Amino acid sequence: MGNENPVIKFTELLLGATARNLVFPCNNQFEGPFWLQDGTVIEHPYGQTSETTLRVVDLGHGKFRLAENPCFDDLTTLYWGDEFYASENKAGDLVITQIDLPLKFKHQTCIVGGSINLKSDYFQQIVERGGNWELIAGGILITSLPNVGPLDYKVAEAPSV
């Protein structure tokens, strides 16, 4: 085992990110985007769209990687590390057209009550396996783990202090 730091591996995926306005089709609750099995983004029957400004990494050829977790936002189906294709509209917004499947990470969001021990094995285990986590507003925990098949470890319950 070398001097590799798995946190650096994950965060390196997010280097070079810039804030961009993302436009995407949404349902009547303004949630989205949703997609078909081939990754094609589903258009709402009435052409309804939503938008948000988030940091993304430009991977070239119209492909982008989300570099932050949307929170309290209409973008409800994509998280940091997820990749998508978009075209630029006249206003300079990125219009999401295709999701790059399979997603490279499995994301889980949960509400954490009370104190949480951020130095526990739970969080170390996520990082050691090439994932990452984020605690938002002191109570929303988002974990992102590589989507590499069956998991041989348990990351189901965040430990409290």
- Return per-residue pLDDT of the chain as tens, 161 residues: 444 555 557 878 888 999 999 999 988 888 889 999 999 999 988 778 988 899 999 999 999 999 988 876 667 788 889 999 999 999 999 999 999 999 999 888 888 877 778 788 888 888 888 888 888 887 888 888 888 755 544 444 444 44
Q: What is the DSSP letter of 14?
A: T
Using alpha carbons only, what angle is made at residue 145 by residues 148 and 8, rounded to the nearest 5 degrees? 110
The predicted model scores a pTM of 0.80
CB 131 within 8 A of CB 143: yes
Max CA distance (Å), the chain = 54
